[in-house]
Structure 1
């Protein structure tokens, strides 16, 4: 028996498209229910959007970064505009559709007009996450510079006034970055008061972090995706059955600042807890 077609229901909250993206043949949908099987999702999206015009392609994404997202390519820009306007915020499998025009030309359109260029293979991180990781890298590099500048005078113990001053200085720079950050992009980081007082109960500092509370079925690639952008990251080892991982860094300083930056980070439906691994 064929699967029944879901009936869209109007969402009670307003959802606005990004006005900076010009109209084109392709709409981008996020906030889809990622528990629906991909084949069924493609079929039903095509059925729901077919009334707006001829659909050239439906791409539902499956990678760790792109679950719950899809692209629908229409034959005409007018059809895409009508679909975005009419379906924005509608409920689909219990989730409200968030629709924008695609930022890049779809492959099927670029092949037709002769502008196609092969895309890099492998999963693609969302732009907001790449921007956040770049800001985080800059902050970590400055923190490391402040730390190294004080090592000759013994600025290595938690609570040392010189270390606290360096952290306060770096926090001020991070706040400046936050104020200049586009809306909707959040820097990974915690107030300096948290960074200083959290040192100690997490165990003896070393270059290996112990991560608890991972989502069910998480693998090394997902953990690498979260920790891989941190300064000094070397390797992650996952024990899936226990939902824990060990993450290695090149030194205890970089491990410590990664712990503070990612403490309480949400992966899937789980909030992770990070401490120094026992030696």
Structure 2
């Protein structure tokens, strides 16, 4: 049998043992079929994002500020519901909610510590309470109750005095208040600025509305008198008189159609047998 010559050695500047070989893993990475990023890095990034959301803001305090509460729900019901909703986070009594127009739909609730407040903020935020998602943030300052409990009476008195002083300052700096004071001062000195005339659409041409505006009422007309006149028409909802101006009133109906029927029927009606009352749509 003829002898087979062995293959000639590969010429290279490197030793044979140092020539890198291509592995299936290298081929896959070149082809782009496999993401070679370690899974642990993705998990680490997700964890870092979660930790970022868990961080407590530097200006956090033990009191939360709640907004977007349903204004149609009575204040005692809102207070009781909020206390029950936040009960797992140990809320402190009382829950603060006001009836005045400026604070309507808002509330304040305090907790024993910032950690509890932060947990409540994260867990309850956007909860659909009475059909509206609650918006929650940390209050701008600590409540009187928290300061008194954690700092003592002396610190509480100092905190309260500072808070009242800041409140007075905000009122002094309020642009609307400053404008009113400037107007009053101008009237006292006789330098009343000329008012810019603003054209308004006459009452008779206002668009349809479910609320009617009643004018030229005779002296002594009561809401009961108006009710007797307007309740003969279907859909009557409410009658609102104005104590400061007894010759006008507002009458609300369930819809525009019902209001229109009543307006057409009662315009120039003599409620006392002599004085014609004027009935138009109210301005929206």
Return the TM-score normalized by structure 1: 0.41
Larger radius of gyration: 2
Return the TM-score normalized by structure 2: 0.41
Higher RCO (C-alpha under 8 Å, 6+ residues apart) = 1
